[in-house]
Structure 1
Amino acid sequence: MTKGKGISRPLTESGVFPELAVSMVTIGEESGQLETMLGKVADIYEIDVKNTLKRLISLLEPLMILVMGVIVGFIVISMLMAVFSINNIEM
């Protein structure tokens, strides 16, 4: 890029960026609309991140409910065990 070359080649060689993003950057460079294409790439991946977070949260909610149920169950059983052990001591 410092020698006046495009950024699509270094992006491809790095292997860090997805193929879609690199292709869109290449098209943007060739058409002279790099800024527009980078905006579209950002929009696409922003939607992708939002969808991934929604799926993760939808999986996490039932797990948290289960964990809370186990904690409440443990507290209830501990209290009942204490009550029953007091009953056994008096006899």
Structure 2
Amino acid sequence: NFLQSLALGEESSEVSEVLENLSKLYAEENEEKLKILLSLLEPAMMLLIGAIVGVIVSAMLLPIFTMTQGLK
């Protein structure tokens, strides 16, 4: 696609315009892919943070529960 567009630009003597249009097209594609990646990354990070908090809470409460079981 890039080479075809470049060849077309060479034939019509408008290489700079073709390259400018291609750069805009690729920049828009990259922005869309980045938005998708960030929208997928946000829930994954929330799950990871939730798991870390769960491990910390269980690590703090488990000794308390075992200690109260020993008192009975």
Q: State the TM-score, normalizing by the size of structure 2.
A: 0.89
Q: Which runs of 5+ in 2 are unaligned?
A: none
Matched with 1:56 is 37
Which amino acid is the alignment partner of residue 26 of structure 1?
A: A
- The reply to whether residue 29 of structure 1 matches residue 10 of structure 2 is yes
2:51 maps to 1:70: yes
Deviation for aligned residue 1:63: 0.5
Whole-Å separation in 2 of the counterparts to 1:62 and 1:25: 41
Cα separation, 2, equivalents of 1:48 and 1:23: 18
Aligned alpha-carbon RMSD (Å) = 1.2
Structure 1: gaps of 5 or more residues = 1-18
Aligned partners of 2:20, 2:46: CA distance in 1, in Å? 39
Per-residue Cα deviation, 1:54-82 (whole angstroms, up to 9, x for no partner): 10110111011001111101111111102
